[in-house]
Amino acid sequence: MENSKEVTIEQLQMQIDELKNKITQLENSRKDQLAIAVVSGDMDKVLAAMVISIAAAAMDTQVKLFFSFWSLSALRDPKKNPKGKDFISKMFGMMLPKGKDKLKLSNMNMCGMGPLMIKMLMKKQNVMSLDQMFKEAGELGIEITVCEMSMGLMGFKKEEMIDYPNLRFAGAATFVADAGESAMQLFI
Amino acid sequence: MTTEELKSVAIAKSVDARGTACPGPLLEAKKAIGTISAGDVMEILSADEGTKVDIPKWCGKQGHEYLGTLEENGYFKVYMKKK
């Protein structure tokens, strides 16, 4: 009996150490953080991403957005005209929406009538505009990372991106790392 | 809290978020919560139906105490006590 007790204490110590390690791992992997991969460039989808982000940030959840592919159009500043683009980049630049105000709807776009109507309704019902949402997001400390690869693919330049606090430029591994430590991950 | 209690509760701050839709009222509430002390009661006015469900969720997460909602003509008064 005496013998078995000593073994138990040792084992307990080991088990406690093991548990401590596991808890540290778990705590690091489930931070109160939201990571969203924003891939769509439709007005409604970018809106959804921003509304969810702002609500999360208002609830003191850290928010990290990763903008990639079509969503990059939303980050273009219409007032900026970067020089030195090649022919295809210029073409892409012309064909894609220049800024968040020019985004299309994923449904009922109707050659631009849809977005106009939605914007009218949003104003009437006091929903923040995308412009206001990005401003609030910046003030709330929502982090935006721009996907370098898609920026290169579409021929966008860093100089034509909006002025946003701490806009980061990085690759997919950054999103994977951010998502890995977040309790919530979304793909929009 | 009962309706009568809510009507007579002492308010440290009133946030009028009737001019904004979701997630505006929550955002206004978050901005205002820093200006009051622990134990103070805050009132949030909102015309957005979602607010009366969202504010209790926010309180639950942050540890504040949700006291209740009063329905006025065309808007809501949501009451909460800061942790």
What residue ranges do the domains of chain A occupy?
30-187
Instruction: Give the pLDDT score at A2.
Output: 54
DSSP B9-58: ---SEEEE-TT--TTHHHHHHHHHHTTS-TT-EEEEEE--TTHHHHHHHH
Chain B residues contacting A via beta carbons under 8 Å: 19-24, 26-27, 29-30, 47, 54, 57-58, 61-62
Q: What is the pLDDT of residues B29-78, one digit of tens each?
A: 999 999 999 999 999 999 998 898 999 999 999 999 999 999 999 999 99
Instruction: Give the pLDDT score at A168.
Output: 93
| Distance separating the N- and C-terminal Cα atoms of chain A | 61
pLDDT band at B1 (very low <50, low <70, confident <90, very high): confident
Mutate: best of A128, A132, A133, A134, partner B, most B CBs <10 A: A128
Looking at residue A75, what DSSP letter applies? G
Domains in chain B: how many in total?
1
Taking every pair of C-alpha atoms in chain A, what is the biggest distance, in angstroms? 84
For A30-187, the fitting CATH number among 3.90.1150.10, 3.40.1260.10, 3.50.50.60, 2.120.10.30 is 3.40.1260.10
CATH of the domain at B43: 3.30.110.40
Instruction: Give the pLDDT score at A4.
Output: 58
B22 flagged as catalytic: yes
pLDDT at B17 over 70: yes
Mean pLDDT score of chain A, rounded to an integer?
92
Instruction: Give the pLDDT score at A27.
Output: 77
List the catalytic residue out of B22, B50, B57, B71: B22
Q: What is the pLDDT of residues A106-152, one digit of tens each?
A: 999 999 899 999 999 999 999 999 999 999 999 999 999 999 999 99
Instruction: Give the pLDDT score at A3.
Output: 57
Count Cβ atoms within 10 A of the Cβ of residue A4 and give its class: 0-12 exposed, 13-18 middle, 19 or more buried.
Answer: exposed
Higher pLDDT, A84 or A41: A41
* Residue B52 structural domain: 3-81
pLDDT at A96 over 70: yes
